[in-house]
Amino acid sequence: MTATPTLSAFPELKNKIKDMISAMMLTDPLLGIMLKRTWIYVDESLPSAAATDGLRIYVNPKLFLKFSDTVKLAILAHELMHIILKHNSRAKAVMSRHSLSQLDANFVADAKANQYLMESFDVYQFVRPDNLAKVLGMSVSDVKTMSFEELCWELAKRKSELRQYQRGYAGRPGSNDIQQPIAGGEVLNEGDKEDVGVGDEEAVSERVVRKYSEALVTAKAIGRLPGWAERVFSEIVKPKIDWKVMLKEMLTKGLGKKVKRTWARPSRKHPLYPGKEFLKHMNKVVVLMDTSGSIDEKELQQFASEVYYIVKNVAEVILIPWDADVHGEFAVRRPSDVRKLKVRGGGGTVIRPALELVNRKYAGRTIIILSDWQIADLGEPATEALLRRHARNIIAVTTSATPPSCLRNVIRIEV
CA 185 vs CA 13, 45, 64, 181, 201: distances in Å: 14, 10, 15, 12, 21
pLDDT digits (tens, 9 = 90+) for 127-163: 999 999 988 889 999 999 888 988 888 888 776 556 6
Question: Range(s) for CATH 3.40.50 in the chain?
Answer: 243-412
Q: Report the topology of domain 243-412.
A: Rossmann fold (3.40.50)
Averaged pLDDT, 399-412: 85
Listed residue (256, 255, 261) closest to 285, CA to CA: 255
- Does residue 177 have a pLDDT over 80? no
Provide CB contacts within 8 A for 44, sequence distance 6+: 60, 61, 62, 185
Residue-averaged pLDDT of the chain: 82
User: What pLDDT score was predicted for residue 297?
Assistant: 80
* pLDDT in the model for residue 261: 47
Rounded Cα gap, residues 162 and 350, in angstroms: 24
Query: What pLDDT, on a 0 to 100 scale, did the predictor assign at position 337?
Result: 76
Residue 321: the pLDDT is 92
**Cβ-Cβ contacts under 8 Å for 314 (sequence gap 6 or more):** 251, 255, 285
- Which pLDDT tens digit goes with each residue over 357-382? 999 999 988 899 999 999 999 989 99
| pLDDT for the residue 253 | 53
Comparing 156 with 209, the larger pLDDT belongs to: 209
342 sits in the region (left: phi over 0; alpha: psi -120 to 50; else beta) called beta
User: What is the predicted pLDDT for the residue at 312?
Assistant: 75
pLDDT at 302: 81
pLDDT-derived band at 279, boundaries 50, 70, 90: very low
In whole angstroms, give the CA distance from residue 14 to residue 39: 12
pLDDT of the residue at 2: 43
Report the alpha-carbon angle 372-113-149, nearest 5: 5
Predicted local distance difference test score (pLDDT) of residue 271: 53
Phi and psi at 244, nearest 5°, equal -65, -30
Pairing of strands 40-42, 57-59: parallel
Q: How confident is the model over 322-358, as pLDDT tens digits?
A: 999 999 999 888 777 776 776 666 778 999 999 999 9
Name residues whose C-beta falls within 8 Å of residue 167's C-beta, 6 or more positions apart in sequence: none
